[in-house]
Amino acid sequence: MARVAAVRPARDGAWFGRLVVAGVVILVVLPIVPLALYSVAGRWLYPDVLPSEWSTRAWEYVARSRSGVMEATLTSLAVALLVTLLSTLLGVPAGRALAGLGPGFRSALELLFFAPIIVPGLAVALGLHVVFVRVGLADSVAGVVVAHLLPTLPYMVLVMTSTFAHANLELEYQARTLGAGALRAFMLVGLPGAVPGMLTGALFVFLISWSQYALTLLIGGGRVLTLPLLLFAFASAGDLAVTGALSLVFLAPAVVILSLTARFLTGRSFALAGVAGR
C-alpha cells in the first residue's frame, strides 16, 4: 500500500507538469494562429470566425524580389549574428573576470555594465545618434551593430558572470599549477564547462538584436532596412495580410535558433559540460 501511495503522487505530479507545459504551449502558439490566418486571408470581416475569402497575395508579395523583404531579412540576420559574435567575444572574458572578484566590487561593476539598459532607451538612442553623426557611424550597418551592443552586451555579461560564479574555478587553478598559462587553462578547462551558459546568453543577445526597432531606426536613419522596420511600416499602413506574413517570417529564425539551443542544452553536450565542471 505504501508503494502504491508513493507511485500515485509521482504520477499526479507528472500529469500536472504535462498540463502546465501544454498550457504554456497553447499560450505561446495561440497568438500566432490569427497571424497565420491573416497571411492567407483575402477577406475577413467581423463576425466571421474564419476568413470568407482566401488569398496568397501576401506571400506572393513577400516572395517578390522587389518587395525588399529578402534584403531586410538578410540585413537583420547579419546584424543579429554580428552582434551575437561581438557580445560573446566581449562578454565571456568580462563575465570570467567579474566572477573572480569579491561580491561588493562585482556588484558595483555589474551596475556599471547595466547602466545602458537602466537609462531609457530613447534617451540612449538620441545621445548615440549625436555621437555617431560626428564619428561617421550614423546611417550605416556598422553603426547599427555598435548600437545594438548597448542593450545586448549587459545580458551576456550577466549570464556569463552567473555561469562562472557557479563553476568550479579550482580546476583552472590546478591546470595552472601543472604548467598551463592563464589563457590556456581558461580555453581548455574553464571555457568548455561554460558552453551551456554561453549558448543561453547568445540566444538572448540574438533575440534582442533581431527585434530592435528604435535603435535601428534612429541610428540607421531609415537607410538600414531591417525586418522589424518593414513589419512596423505595414502594420501602421493597416495591411493585415502582409503584416501577418511578415510576422511569421520574423518569428521563424528565433524559433529555429531556440529549438536548436534547447536541444543542445538538454542533450548530451549539456551532460558533458556538467561533468567537465565538476
pLDDT at 75: 94
pLDDT score for 8: 55
pLDDT digits (tens, 9 = 90+) for 207-232: 999 999 988 998 988 889 999 999 99
Cβ atoms of 93 and 160 within 8 Å: the answer is no
The reported pLDDT for the residue numbered 80 is 94
| pLDDT of 268 | 46
Residue 72: the pLDDT is 92
- 65-276, CATH topology level: MetI-like fold (1.10.3720)
Task: For the chain, 278 residues long, give each residue's pLDDT as a single digit of tens.
Answer: 545 555 555 555 577 777 877 776 677 778 888 888 888 888 888 787 888 888 889 899 998 888 889 999 999 999 999 999 999 999 988 888 887 776 667 677 777 777 777 777 777 778 888 888 888 888 899 999 999 998 899 889 888 888 887 776 667 667 777 667 667 777 777 777 788 888 888 988 999 999 999 889 989 888 899 999 999 999 888 888 999 999 999 988 877 777 776 666 655 444 444 434 44
Tell me what pLDDT residue 144 has: 94
